Amino acid sequence: MRAGAGGAWNLGALWRIAWRDLRGSSTAALIILGCLTLGVATITGIGSLRASLTDTLERDARALLGGDLVIESTYRELPPEELRAIVPAGATVAHTIATNAIAFADNGRQVPVALKSIDGAYPLYGVVGIEPLMTLEDALADGGALVEAALLQRLAIAVGDSLALGNGRVTVRGVLTAEPDQIGGFVGLGPRVMIDRATLDALDILAPGALVRHKYGLALADRSEAGAYVATLRRDFPEAAWRAQTFNDVQPRIARNADRLAGYLSLAGIA
């Protein structure tokens, strides 16, 4: 077949050849039609999935971030006087500390874990899922800990058993089934373990040089001022060792990941 004027193929001839081949086999025609229908439905569903994901992120933005805005510091806990200088009047602050550790069971098994301590203000938004049902305060009191189910499986232990962490021990009070404030720069090395600050201090686990992230979530008196306040912090403290951000700062990265996932799924639908 030769190219027509301007180098374009004779599409009419191509359609006639395709129609002739399909007309000779009704089975082939049905298969092709079914594949086209499935592909279109898949791509449409992917678009709906992405829209739903975006809506969820916007609705739960504060819970995902851990506040109207957050201030993060790696390695260094902010002194009280420095924190007072950067936290606006009327704001509630929740301080979490994240690091990596090794959990040891009495049966000899050991597993790297992502350890997180919380204070009494946590969580500012969202809820912590606990199984069996109990309050967060009761779960973490007197050396208690909440752990992901994966840790119980890997260590072959159960709720009520104890673990060695750092220079002390914790008692597993329940399973951590849901946790807010999962957007952030810290990447844990294993199943998650949640304790309170008093237990963290007793474990003496924050050795000099260890990777530690201090995260200060802020619930503002006026939520709409979060973006403007972060801009003010960046202007007034350009050389600060901490970083301030709102959900709008991390949302573009999440949107890019959602677009990338949608692209992969679209290619699968076309294939």
Model confidence pLDDT, tens digit, residues 43-71? 556 566 656 555 556 567 888 899 999 99
Collapsing DSSP to helix, strand or coil, 61 comes out as helix
Is 263 part of a structural domain of the chain?
no
Same structural domain for residues 30 and 102?
Answer: no
15-19, 85-89, 246-250: the lowest-pLDDT one: 15-19
- In the prediction, which pLDDT does 55 show? 57
Is 215 part of a structural domain of the chain?
yes
Is 261 part of a structural domain of the chain?
no
Q: How many distinct structural domains can be found in the chain?
A: 2
Rounded to 5 degrees, what angle do the CA atoms 197, 203, 207 make?
Answer: 95
Model confidence at 40: pLDDT above 80 = no
**pLDDT level of residue 259 (50, 70, 90 thresholds):** low
Q: Within 13 Å, how many C-alpha atoms sit on residue 53's CB side?
A: 15
Is 110 part of a structural domain of the chain?
yes
| Range(s) of the domain holding residue 23 | 5-59
Same structural domain for residues 143 and 52?
Answer: no
Model confidence pLDDT, tens digit, residues 19-31? 666 565 656 556 6
Same structural domain for residues 49 and 66?
Answer: no
Same structural domain for residues 39 and 106?
Answer: no
Is 265 part of a structural domain of the chain?
no
Model confidence pLDDT, tens digit, residues 139-180? 999 999 999 999 999 999 999 999 999 999 999 999 999 999
Model confidence at 9: pLDDT above 60 = no
Check residues 11 and 104 and name the one with the higher pLDDT.
104
Is 269 part of a structural domain of the chain?
no
Same structural domain for residues 11 and 133?
Answer: no
Model confidence at 245: pLDDT above 70 = yes
Is 264 part of a structural domain of the chain?
no
